[in-house]
């Protein structure tokens, strides 16, 4: 069963409804004892990286998530939740992330290498470029369009964590993962077939992990 972590900065309703439509068991909680009973965790997120990490630290959920991941429990971060998996961010001042994955969260500069301006935030549908077709998250997912809403992106030198990317003036990590920690920069619950397939694949992975 998937435990959706409620720390006050996640789009809980749409993620919950997506899992409900797919027919997978889940619950939403901020309680560590209850969340510890989940077979896998889901960390949604909207808003500021720094604020999110402050709340997670103050509530004890940061230490809890670190302990669960260290013990081998799967974790999927969505949007801001994905960015929190990385080492640091300069959003609203420097803040440290979980450091489960290598990389830094940076603001889109709004200008490409040729000096051409582009809109920030990155908002709308962009095509996935699949880097690791063998990843279970990509089962039955092609190079489809998914829905992004973000002003900050992950800059990483480790291509091994890139499961899929997208192009928005530059390469943007779209699906990431290492070990049992995964993330999507886009909102899978709002991304039609591809997004729902990714959620389904994660839910099936959770069921297999429980076997």
Listed by start position, the domains of the chain span: 2-210
Report the predicted TM-score, pTM, of the whole model to 2 decimal places.
Answer: 0.95
The C-alpha angle 80, 173, 183, rounded to 5 degrees, equals 50
Give the pLDDT score at 94. Answer: 93
Given 68, 91, 150, 187, the catalytic residue: 187
| 131 carries an active-site annotation | no
| 187 carries an active-site annotation | yes
Given 68, 91, 131, 189, the catalytic residue: 189
Q: What is the pLDDT of residues 110-140, one digit of tens each?
A: 998 888 999 999 999 999 999 999 999 999 9
| 144 carries an active-site annotation | no
Give the pLDDT score at 165. Answer: 98
Query: Hey, is 68 helix, strand or coil?
Result: helix
Q: Say how many C-beta atoms besides its own lie within 10 A of residue 189's C-beta.
A: 24
* Topology, domain 2-210: Rossmann fold (3.40.50)
Joined together, the tokens standing for residue 111 give 């200008």
171-178 vs 181-184, strand pairing mode: antiparallel
Given 68, 79, 150, 197, the catalytic residue: 79
Q: What is the mean pLDDT of the chain?
A: 95
Joined together, the tokens standing for residue 14 give 């749409």
């Amino acid at each position: 069963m998937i435990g959706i972590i409620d720390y006050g900065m996640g789009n809980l309703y749409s993620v919950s409804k997506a899992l409900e439509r797919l027919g997978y068991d889940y619950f939403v909680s901020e309680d560590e004892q209850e969340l510890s009973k989940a077979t896998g965790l889901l960390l949604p997120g909207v808003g500021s990286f720094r604020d999110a990490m402050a709340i997670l630290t103050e509530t004890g959920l940061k230490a809890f998530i670190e302990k669960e991941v260290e013990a081998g429990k799967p974790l999927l971060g969505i949007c801001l939740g994905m960015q929190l998996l990385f080492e640091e961010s300069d959003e609203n001042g420097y803040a440290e992330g979980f450091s489960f994955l290598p990389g830094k969260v940076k603001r889109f500069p709004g200008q490409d290498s040729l000096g051409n301006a582009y809109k920030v935030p990155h908002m709308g549908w962009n095509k996935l470029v699949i880097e690791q077709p063998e990843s279970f998250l990509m089962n039955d997912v092609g190079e489809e369009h998914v829905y992004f809403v973000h002003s900050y992106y992950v800059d990483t030198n480790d291509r091994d964590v890139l499961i899929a990317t997208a192009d928005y003036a530059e390469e943007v990590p779209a699906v990431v993962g290492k070990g049992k920690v995964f993330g999507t920069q886009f909102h899978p619950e709002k991304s039609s077939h591809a997004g729902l397939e990714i959620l389904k694949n994660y839910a099936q992975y959770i069921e297999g992990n429980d076997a």
